[in-house]
Structure 1
Amino acid sequence: MEPVHPGVGVTRRLPLLAVAAALLTGCAVVPQEAAPPVPCDPTPAAAVVPGDGVYLGANLDWGSETLAEYAAAAGHAPAVAVSFTGFPLGPDDGRNLDGAVDQLVAQGGLMLLTLEPHDGLAAVTDDAAADLAARLDGYNRRGVPVVVRFAHEMNGSWYAWGQQPAEYVAAFRRVAAAVHAEAPGSATMWAPNYGGGYPFAGGRYEAVAGSGDAAVLDTDGDGGVTAADDPYAPYWPGDDAVDWVGMSLYHWGSAHPWGENEVPEPGKFVAQLTGEYVGLAGDDRGLPDFHGTYGVQHGKPVAVPETAALYAPGSGGADELAVKQAWWRQVHDPALAQRLPRLAMVNWFEWDKDEPEIGGRVDWTAASGADTRAAYRADLPAWGRWADAVPSCD
């Protein structure tokens, strides 16, 4: 989720991602009738990247909508279905993942699996990683590729795995080694939080001044962790461990406090991915070029695992279609192939839910509402790739 910018004086809350963990951990997946397993030789994960165009997917409220229902609303079966789970996996986690995979077997597409180690990085053991890899290999052999987004937003201060660069890198590499060795049809994704507002002071897991973690995060060597330090590089696990890179980008509005419905300024989406963003909330031009550094220089496909634009019914400001359409037209801009050549995945956050930031409901959806669905479908880009473009078995 988009962070609070420096000087606002409000610490960043547990973002939508934490609430969205209910996707699999708090809400039972609504299964379709399970298809009989058809073992196959999985497509190597390196080949599960669009040869051209961009995979378009969705973050679904699995407790109230199936993949088939979303596909009917959007007019296409999504190439990517986003799921969240605690890690290490408990019995309920495994059952819910199995239910999601049943839907993907029937509908097609890949799973973007976000692993959340809420008990801390010490719980990410070799055994937990091996158990995960064995499960993923089974999913791959059912024809479902998986991209594992491990401990996302690790540069934030709001998660139990946050701002612990050395331990995070070791845990990521542990999971990646198991996945690469035992589930060759699966891949890994490294996904920090957008760096505007770094180092997100005041969070529960903020690196303590004077600690070893703070020393690693002090990339400019001035004796403290500040907005001048690189918000991404200390957490990089290495080219051999990372297959995809990603960053969630939401339009919350133009300036804090959030809650008024505001049309996003032109060019915001690309500017945030390239470290060139200047808006009413602040000037982020000092941030690294995420797409250029980790996509182009490191040669990785780039994902936007989650995106949407805030519309709060009854909160005043612009109308729903004006807000959402302005954002999805940036996200689906025909020129993105030239501006962001490494972009390979974009997933809309298809949830309607209460948000603590505004003390009320936010409708993030694009395809669910009658007032936006037709416009969303009409604006889907020609470069969008859907479930039928995702290779699953050789």
Structure 2
Amino acid sequence: MPLGIAVAAIALGAASITGGLADRDRKNQEAAASQSAAAIPTCEVTDRNSLVPPSGALLGVNLNLEAKPLAQYAADLGHKPAVSVSFADFPYTEQERTHLQQAAAQIRADGHIMLLTLEPKQGLAAVTRDVISDLVKDLGSINSQGVPVIVRLAHEMNGSWYPWSQQPLEYRDMFTRVADAVHTGVPGSAMMWAPNYAGGYPFAGGQFEAKAGSADFAALDTDHDGAITMADDPYAPYYPGDGAVDWVGMSLYHWGAKYPWGENEIPEANKFADQLTGNYVGANGDDTLLPDFYSVYGKDHNKPVAIPETAALYNPTAGGAAEIDIKRTWWEQVFSAQAHAQFPNLKMINWFEWDKNEVEVNGRIDWTTTNSPAIRGAFTTALPDWLHYGTGTTCRPAG
């Protein structure tokens, strides 16, 4: 129940129970309750540009809300996260719509921004005008509760494993249609374009890789040599344009130093920065350098850059390096003063806080930093002062 309504209910209940109160006193109480509610500002979010901090970065989390509520994570972290990641099919079911509203309620109390990852698992053609219209209505509803939304739409589109993969022509059209509707209809929501880190591009052999001879294949063959290889630009053909994109994002993980994954290995020096700038050559089996994602999209296109997900692999059943050494080495890179100075447009960092089975490893991987007291203590101590956190919302919904 919103605070203002609760105050009014308490006042009215008290007047009813104490029936001997004078009518004047009752009216005074009702007026006071009304003024109290009016004094609480409405929650409606109306400016997507205000989501970008002028300096520093938002610290958020990709959390298994069924295993740990956001309130518990905030207590463990010692801060309310500025961003909480949610996933839904697109179009989504009524059950998923309910889950999004439930997630929004948790974020309203113990966070700030929802990063909503929408996955068009039925293919790009399923994103119809009606589907987009329904999304705009739902975003408006969430915004009116005081929760801004950044929509990460059809992420990892340059991979080969999703039904929306490697279809740059249709993808850009779909993204632009959604972005136009969101920008027009929900000023408290923003759009994020987030390709997969391109080490290993074009990820040959995936179910949805571009077919030779297709228009999409021709668009992806940026060096016009008749093949799609790591020599082709793995990002630019998928970019929908500056007008459609508010944020750019790339998830960066430490899976290990070499393939196959599953061994407990210390992250190589400067790995995080090298991945973000295209200079990392480990683990890919190829010395080809990638485009500098940060410079091209963060600086040249002047977009706020997000790391929607990051973490370091720890396999509890394997030997090798210790959990604390692996994870601490990674977060020291992510949160380093060097990274802060080198990447001023880096405006969001979300930790992947899951303990789950990974098909790439065929086993359980613990990516978390708050479940173990020792890891949690080291992680929270390492958080730099340039990070921004959530404050929760104490206002009543608009309308």
**Which residue of 106, 119, 124 corresponds with 2:122?**
119
Q: Which residue, 66, 70, 77 being the options, matches 2:69?
A: 66
Letter paired with 2:226: G
Q: Residue 9 of structure 2 aligns with which residue?
A: none
Residue 289 of structure 1 pairs with residue 296 of structure 2: no
Distance 1:70 1:40, change over 3 A: closer
Counterpart code for 1:203: G
1:16 match: none
SS for the counterpart of 1:321 is helix
Per-residue CA deviations over 1:24-58 (Å, capped at 9, x if unaligned) read: xxxxxxxxx88789744424001111111100000
The residue number in structure 2 matching 1:75 is: 78
The Cα shift of 1:335 comes to 2.2
* Alpha-carbon offset, residue 371 of structure 1: 2.7
**In 2, Cα distance between the equivalents of 1:291 and 1:190?**
13
Tell me the C-alpha RMSD between the 2 structures: 2.0
Matched, 1:205 2:180: no
User: 1:266: which partner in 2?
Assistant: 269
Taking the TM superposition and a 5 Å limit, the aligned residue runs for 1:125-164 are 125-164=128-167
Q: Check conservation: 2:118, 2:152, Cα contact below 8 A.
A: yes
Deviations 1:334-373 (A, max 9, x none): 2222111110000000000111222211000011222311
Residue 187 of structure 1 aligns with which residue? 190
2:105 aligned partner: 102
CA distance in 2: counterparts of 1:324 and 1:79, whole angstroms:
21
Partner residue of 1:345 out of 345, 348, 359: 348
d(CA) in 1 for partners of 2:97, 2:134: 11
Separation in 1, partners of 2:319, 2:369: 19
Match of 1:239 among 242, 247, 257: 242
Bigger Cα displacement from structure 2, 131-140 vs 382-391: 382-391
Hey, what's the Cα distance between the residues in 1 that align with 2:287 and 2:327? 23
Higher share of residues assigned helix: 2
SS of 1:208's equivalent? coil
Aligned AA (2:237) = P
Compared CA separation, residues 36 and 83, structure 1 to 2 (3 A): farther
Query: What's 2:309 paired with?
Result: 306
2:383 to 358, 371, 380: 380
- Cα 1:366–1:356 change in 2 (3 A) is same
Taking the aligned partners of 1:284 and 1:366, their CA distance within structure 2 comes to: 32
Contact 1:110/1:146 (<8 A) preserved: yes
Question: What percent of counterpart residues are identical?
Answer: 56
Q: Deviations over 1:62-111 (max 9, x none)?
A: 11111110001111100000000011121011100000011111123100
SS at match of 2:391: helix
Specify whether residues 224 and 383 from structure 1 end up closer, same or farther in structure 2 by C-alpha distance, changes over 3 A only: same
Q: Is the 8 A contact 1:334 1:383 kept in 2?
A: no
More displaced 10-residue stretch of structure 1: 361-370 or 114-123: 361-370
**Residues 126/317 of structure 1: CA separation in 2 closer, same or farther (3 Å cut):** same
SS at match of 1:335: helix
Contact 1:104-1:110 at 8 Å conserved across structures: yes
Give 3-state SS (helix, strand or coil) of 2:337's partner.
Answer: coil
Read off the aligned partner of 2:375 and give its amino acid letter.
T
- 2:283 and 2:308 map into 1 onto residues whose CA distance is 25
Q: Separation in 2 of the partners of 1:391 and 1:213? A: 48
C-alpha deviation, 1:256, in angstroms: 0.3
Q: What is aligned with 1:369? A: 372
| Residues 247-273 of structure 1 deviation map (CA, whole Å, 9 limit, x = unaligned) | 001100000011110000110001110
Alignment partner of 1:329 out of 329, 332, 335: 332
**Does 2:250 correspond to 1:255?**
no
Greater C-alpha Rg: 2
In structure 1, distance between residues paired with 2:3 and 2:225: 58
Q: Which runs of 4+ in 1 moved over 2 A?
A: 33-41, 278-286, 388-394
Distance 1:100 1:173, change over 3 A: same
2:55 to 45, 52, 56: 52
Distance 1:41 1:351, change over 3 A: closer
TM-score (norm 1): 0.88
Q: 1:133 to 1:264 in 2, by over 3 A?
A: same
Seen in structure 2, the aligned counterparts of structure 1 residues 100 and 36 have a Cα distance that, compared at 3 Å, is: farther
Deviation at 1:284, TM superposition (A): 5.3
Equivalenced residue count is 362
Q: 1:227 to 1:383 in 2, by over 3 A?
A: same
C-alpha distance in 2, partners of 1:108/1:143?
Answer: 11
Q: Is the 8 A contact 1:43 1:391 kept in 2?
A: no
